[in-house]
């Protein structure tokens, strides 16, 4: 889409009739494009004497066209000519239509003149994305109010790929001749990165077609990662039109029960003349590999920043270990609560307080070279298994020689606090390998059970090879200083399943709480990707839920019976049903590749856990694009009416609505289906409350389902003989997500009885 804004100066003493003129956008070799006038200019009949006006024309042009190859003919209708028009003049842009950092582009949006410039940017990278946050200055150069929510942002690459940008503001306007800084964030995939990307600022032309016109093209040349600010050095930024200054303090680290917790502080100053509430900020420890470990803000309820006053926020979160902080940063984002998209704001260096500096640590013996084979202890975990605990040690064997080697016949015993258990541990190979070629590896586990009440400080495993002639050769005693139940999973990290023939990756997506009258249900979704080179069955997972008190409840993973293609995705559901009095404080979800080690005993190989378990979320206050699994549901034109089932006494409420149910583009399959519950609640006394549950995405429309499509009608009724004796005014319509007899409120609205609520 290309647009030209023309300024017409009428320097005569009589008005200029604009109906006599038109314009046409042209390309190379005289190619003409169908040209239109923006809606706000269509009804401009004249230019008054000794006055001026603006007209904005636009056209859809070839993808290969650039501003420098376009021009616009200004035409006058001339009925003496064969084509009834004459060219008054041809105008070409004064530049190539782009600006760079620090330059200003003057544009017009409907009746507003505005100036747009890129002031500065911040950026950080991980293995998959570059996260860029840009601060723009936008000036309203007219006398009318300018609503910035009418603007949209996108980044385009040289290959014409488009990446959506996220504005760091909501419901923000500019008064006449006012300038405000605003932020725009975008995540750029590494495979789409180039050194000449462009930030495009777009605005709606105001008509029914809602066409977006380009207002500014800002070239982003040679972007590079932002250096971390040192501790106690302030950074000033703008969030939703408000100026804030933020600085980081020193951090401390504590270790307890095999976990490492970091505590840090940030100080925020409100630079505005009025008080503001805490914006939706997210803080993380970012490692040099780009992994993000969340830090929670302590006591976020009703945090208000008074003008010019410093306020300290305490940040707490788990990290893999203390040593990782030497090459990590403290990064922070602004989260859009509606879209759940985070925009990068800035980064600080991490400095430990003097009494908590990093110390050198030494690991116990974890590897051994044996007959040309390198044997590594990958992990050792103690995990719950009913009334016993399961000790599982995982090993990797790599052929470091130049000739093929047979698979070792291994046996061994666990050593607890330097006491060797009498019973041989069980051994199970994880990979289907018969012979090891040079450089090839395979994995196996050794496991045993002990009472869950058994206290152990030091763990080891004495490994022996049983040769073909039944001789036993001692290989090594592997030991660790500290056992761990599982490895902490970063928020943006994928758990890798390495078993040959079952390879895949699993990413923790989200969690939520569903409720019933007798129990609660914790639900989580995981994204599974098949990393094998052929269609394959989904690798089974095993896991459990644990709270701060150490109470444990097993997770159930929904099965999926169909093979999935290479690199294909599947959303896996897992859940745990909990007693109502089960403590929700400090919840952690543990999971790993499931391996059946004996009848009735399943272990999780190389388990991981996340403490990023968030169960509460505010329901939407509208019914537009409600997300439910792979669908988007919109409900409108809602009416609730008093009726009579016998044409005599009022005893029925009929609820009717129109809906759209759309399938998300490229949506993966899910291992389970959810339903929705539409509930009428008049919120008064005596209370009338009724509901209807609906399946989603069915092929044939029935009373108990919603089918894919737009503008579809649905009606259901509730009968109660007391309805006629009650006065109804307003009611609340609730939409619940329902799973296994439990429900979660996802949207609600207060509506009027007896009328259509849009």
- The model carries a pTM of 0.80
CB atoms within 10 A of CB 95: 10
291-316 confidence digits (pLDDT tens): 999 999 987 666 788 888 888 999 99
User: What pLDDT, on a 0 to 100 scale, did the predictor assign at position 207?
Assistant: 65
In this structure, the answer to whether residues 210 and 122 fall within a common structural domain is yes
pLDDT higher at 422 or 686: 422
- Give the mean pLDDT of 659-670: 93
- Is there a domain that residue 226 lies in? no
pLDDT over threshold 90, residue 418: no
- Give the mean pLDDT of 501-527: 95
Half-sphere exposure of 561 (CA within 13 A, CB side): 1
CATH number of the structural domain spanning residue 109: 2.60.40.1470
587-615 confidence digits (pLDDT tens): 999 999 998 877 777 878 888 999 999 88
pLDDT over threshold 50, residue 677: yes
d(CA 176, CA 495): 53
- Is there a domain that residue 98 lies in? no
CB atoms within 10 A of CB 266: 20
- Give the mean pLDDT of 622-636: 95
Residue-level length of the chain: 758
482 contacts 322 by C-beta, under 8 angstroms:
no
Closest among 433, 595, 608 to 505, alpha carbons compared: 608
User: What pLDDT, on a 0 to 100 scale, did the predictor assign at position 433?
Assistant: 83
Domain boundary among 221, 246, 264: 221
In this structure, the answer to whether residues 401 and 327 fall within a common structural domain is no
- Is there a domain that residue 757 lies in? no
Going by pLDDT thresholds of 50, 70 and 90, the confidence category of residue 366 is confident
Domain boundary among 221, 255, 279: 221
Site of tokens 């929670």: 296
User: What pLDDT, on a 0 to 100 scale, did the predictor assign at position 360?
Assistant: 43
In this structure, the answer to whether residues 378 and 331 fall within a common structural domain is no
pLDDT higher at 83 or 661: 661
Going by pLDDT thresholds of 50, 70 and 90, the confidence category of residue 698 is confident
User: What pLDDT, on a 0 to 100 scale, did the predictor assign at position 547?
Assistant: 92
- Is there a domain that residue 599 lies in? yes
Of the chain, the percentage scoring pLDDT greater than 70 comes to: 96
Name all contacts of 353-362 with Cβ < 8 Å and 24+ positions apart: 353/250, 353/251, 353/252, 356/251, 356/252, 356/253, 358/322, 358/323, 358/325, 358/326, 359/322, 361/323
d(CA 498, CA 653): 58
Going by pLDDT thresholds of 50, 70 and 90, the confidence category of residue 364 is very low
666 contacts 729 by C-beta, under 8 angstroms:
no
The total of structural domains in the chain comes to: 6
Go through 10-21 and write b for each residue having 16 or more CB atoms within 10 A of its CB, e for each that does not. Answer: beeeeebebeeb
Backbone angles phi, psi at 641, to 5 degrees: -130, 145
Query: In this structure, what token pair is assigned to residue 689?
Result: 């409350």
CATH number of the structural domain spanning residue 50: 2.60.40
pLDDT over threshold 90, residue 258: no
- Torsion, CA 694, CA 695, CA 701, CA 703, rounded to 10: -30
Backbone angles phi, psi at 128, to 5 degrees: -115, -30
Burial class (CB in 10 A: 0-12, 13-18, 19+), 467: exposed
In this structure, the answer to whether residues 288 and 387 fall within a common structural domain is no
Burial class (CB in 10 A: 0-12, 13-18, 19+), 458: middle
Domain boundary among 48, 66, 91: 91
Go through 726-744 and write b for each residue having 16 or more CB atoms within 10 A of its CB, e for each that does not. Answer: eebeebebbbbbbbbebbb
SS3 225: coil
- Is there a domain that residue 136 lies in? yes
In this structure, the answer to whether residues 491 and 589 fall within a common structural domain is yes
413 contacts 421 by C-beta, under 8 angstroms:
yes
pLDDT higher at 709 or 28: 709
DSSP state for residue 560 in the 8-state scheme: -
d(CA 496, CA 563): 19
- Give the mean pLDDT of 634-641: 95
In this structure, the answer to whether residues 671 and 741 fall within a common structural domain is yes
Burial class (CB in 10 A: 0-12, 13-18, 19+), 636: middle
DSSP state for residue 182 in the 8-state scheme: E
DSSP state for residue 649 in the 8-state scheme: S
d(CA 282, CA 300): 11
In this structure, the answer to whether residues 414 and 522 fall within a common structural domain is no
737 contacts 746 by C-beta, under 8 angstroms:
yes
Going by pLDDT thresholds of 50, 70 and 90, the confidence category of residue 365 is low
Going by pLDDT thresholds of 50, 70 and 90, the confidence category of residue 388 is confident
DSSP state letters, 518-554: SEEEEEEEEEEEE-SSS-BPPPPEEEEEE-TT--EEE
pLDDT over threshold 90, residue 501: no
pLDDT higher at 337 or 176: 176
User: What pLDDT, on a 0 to 100 scale, did the predictor assign at position 242?
Assistant: 85
CB atoms within 10 A of CB 81: 10
In this structure, the answer to whether residues 707 and 725 fall within a common structural domain is yes
In this structure, the answer to whether residues 145 and 187 fall within a common structural domain is yes
In this structure, the answer to whether residues 654 and 674 fall within a common structural domain is yes
Q: Which of 50-54, 154-158, 355-359, 715-719 has the lowest mean pLDDT?
A: 355-359
User: What pLDDT, on a 0 to 100 scale, did the predictor assign at position 382?
Assistant: 81
Closest among 444, 467, 286, 457 to 377, alpha carbons compared: 444
- Is there a domain that residue 758 lies in? no
d(CA 629, CA 621): 19
- Give the mean pLDDT of 732-742: 96
Checking DSSP bridges between strand 552-554 and strand 51-59, what pairing results, if any?
unpaired
22-69 confidence digits (pLDDT tens): 999 999 888 999 999 888 888 888 999 999 998 989 999 988 888 888
Range of the domain at 50: 2-91
d(CA 308, CA 361): 44
d(CA 378, CA 257): 20
pLDDT over threshold 50, residue 359: no
User: What pLDDT, on a 0 to 100 scale, did the predictor assign at position 604?
Assistant: 84
Q: Mention every residue, 6+ apart, whose C-beta is less than 8 A from residue 332.
A: 246, 266, 281, 282, 283, 284, 345, 346, 347
pLDDT higher at 423 or 261: 261
pLDDT higher at 387 or 730: 730
In this structure, the answer to whether residues 262 and 340 fall within a common structural domain is yes
Half-sphere exposure of 238 (CA within 13 A, CB side): 21
- Give the mean pLDDT of 472-487: 79
Closest among 550, 525, 522, 527 to 615, alpha carbons compared: 522
In this structure, the answer to whether residues 462 and 507 fall within a common structural domain is no
pLDDT over threshold 90, residue 684: no
- Is there a domain that residue 228 lies in? no
User: What pLDDT, on a 0 to 100 scale, did the predictor assign at position 257?
Assistant: 72
549-564 confidence digits (pLDDT tens): 888 899 999 999 999 9
206 contacts 222 by C-beta, under 8 angstroms:
no
- Is there a domain that residue 616 lies in? no
CATH number of the structural domain spanning residue 521: 2.60.40.1240
Closest among 264, 281, 320, 251 to 490, alpha carbons compared: 320
Q: Mention every residue, 6+ apart, whose C-beta is less than 8 A from residue 689.
A: 679, 680, 681, 682
């Amino acid at each position: 889409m290309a647009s030209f804004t023309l300024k017409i100066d009428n320097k005569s003493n009589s008005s200029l009739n604009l109906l006599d003129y038109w314009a046409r956008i042209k390309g190379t070799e005289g190619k003409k494009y169908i040209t239109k006038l923006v809606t706000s200019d269509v009804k401009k009949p004249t230019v008054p004497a000794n006055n001026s006006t603006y007209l904005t024309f636009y056209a859809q042009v070839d993808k290969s066209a650039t501003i420098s190859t376009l021009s616009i003919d200004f035409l006058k209708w001339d009925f003496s000519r064969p084509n009834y028009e004459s060219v008054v003049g041809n105008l070409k842009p004064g530049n190539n239509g782009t600006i760079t950092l620090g330059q200003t582009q003057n544009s017009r949006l409907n009746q507003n003149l505005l100036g747009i410039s890129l002031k500065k940017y911040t950026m950080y990278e991980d293995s998959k994305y570059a996260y860029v946050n840009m601060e723009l200055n936008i000036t309203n150069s007219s006398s009318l109010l300018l609503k910035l929510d009418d603007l949209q942002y996108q980044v385009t690459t040289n290959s014409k790929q488009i990446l959506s940008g996220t504005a760091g503001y909501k419901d923000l306007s500019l008064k006449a001749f006012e300038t405000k800084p605003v932020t725009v964030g975008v995540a750029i995939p590494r495979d789409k990165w180039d050194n000449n990307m462009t930030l495009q600022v777009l605005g709606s032309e105001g008509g029914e077609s809602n066409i977006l016109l380009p207002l500014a093209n800002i070239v982003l040349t040679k972007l590079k990662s932002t250096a971390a600010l040192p501790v106690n050095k302030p950074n000033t930024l703008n969030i939703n039109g408000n100026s804030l200054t933020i600085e980081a303090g020193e951090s401390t680290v504590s270790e307890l029960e095999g976990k490492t917790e970091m505590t840090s502080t940030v100080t925020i100053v409100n630079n505005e003349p009025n008080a503001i509430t805490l914006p939706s900020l997210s803080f993380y420890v970012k490692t040099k590999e780009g992994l993000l470990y969340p830090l929670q803000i302590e006591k976020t309820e009703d945090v208000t920043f008074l003008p010019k006053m410093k306020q300290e926020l305490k940040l707490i979160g788990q990290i893999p270990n203390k040593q990782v902080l030497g090459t990590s940063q403290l990064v922070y984002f602004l989260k859009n609560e509606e879209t759940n998209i985070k925009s990068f704001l800035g980064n600080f260096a991490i400095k430990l307080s003097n009494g908590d500096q990093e110390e050198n640590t030494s690991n116990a013996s974890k590897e051994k070279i044996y007959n040309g084979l390198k044997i590594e202890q990958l992990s050792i975990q103690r995990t719950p298994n009913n009334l016993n605990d399961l000790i599982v040690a995982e090993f990797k064997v790599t052929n470091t020689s130049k000739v093929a080697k047979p698979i070792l016949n291994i046996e061994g015993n666990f050593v607890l606090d330097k006491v060797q258990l009498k019973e041989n541990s069980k051994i199970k190979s994880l990979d289907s390998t018969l012979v090891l070629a040079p450089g090839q590896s395979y994995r196996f586990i050794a496991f045993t059970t002990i009472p869950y009440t058994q206290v152990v400080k030091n763990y080891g495993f004495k490994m022996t090879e049983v040769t073909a002639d039944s001789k036993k050769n001692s290989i090594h005693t592997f030991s660790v200083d500290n056992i761990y139940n599982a490895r902490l999973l970063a928020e943006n990290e994928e758990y890798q399943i390495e078993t040959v023939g079952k390879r895949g990756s699993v990413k923790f997506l989200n969690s939520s709480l569903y409720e019933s009258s007798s129990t609660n249900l914790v639900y989580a979704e995981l994204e599974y990707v098949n990393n094998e080179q052929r269609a394959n069955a989904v690798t089974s997972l095993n896991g459990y839920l644990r709270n701060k008190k150490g109470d444990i409840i097993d997770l159930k993973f929904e099965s999926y019976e169909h093979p999935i293609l290479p690199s294909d995705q599947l959303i896996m559901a897992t859940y745990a049903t909990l007693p109502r009095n089960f403590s929700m404080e400090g919840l952690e979800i543990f999971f790993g590749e499931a391996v059946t080690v004996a009848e009735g005993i399943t272990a999780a190989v190389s388990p991981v856990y996340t403490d990023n378990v968030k169960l509460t979320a505010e329901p939407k206050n509208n019914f537009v694009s409600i997300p439910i699994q792979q669908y988007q549901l919109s409900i409108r034109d809602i009416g609730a009416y008093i009726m009579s089932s016998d044409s005599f006494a009022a005893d029925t409420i009929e609820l009717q609505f129109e809906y759209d149910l759309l399938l998300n583009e490229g949506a993966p399959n899910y291992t389970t289906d959810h339903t929705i519950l539409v509930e009428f609640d008049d919120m008064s006394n005596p209370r009338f409350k009724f509901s209807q549950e609906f399946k989603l995405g069915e092929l044939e429309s029935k009373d108990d389902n919603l089918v894919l499509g737009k503008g579809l009608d649905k009606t259901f009724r509730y009968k109660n003989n007391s309805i006629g004796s009650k006065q109804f005014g307003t009611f609340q319509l609730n939409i619940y997500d329902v799973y296994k007899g439990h429900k979660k409120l996802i949207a609600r609205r207060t509506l009027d009885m007896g009328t259509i609520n849009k």
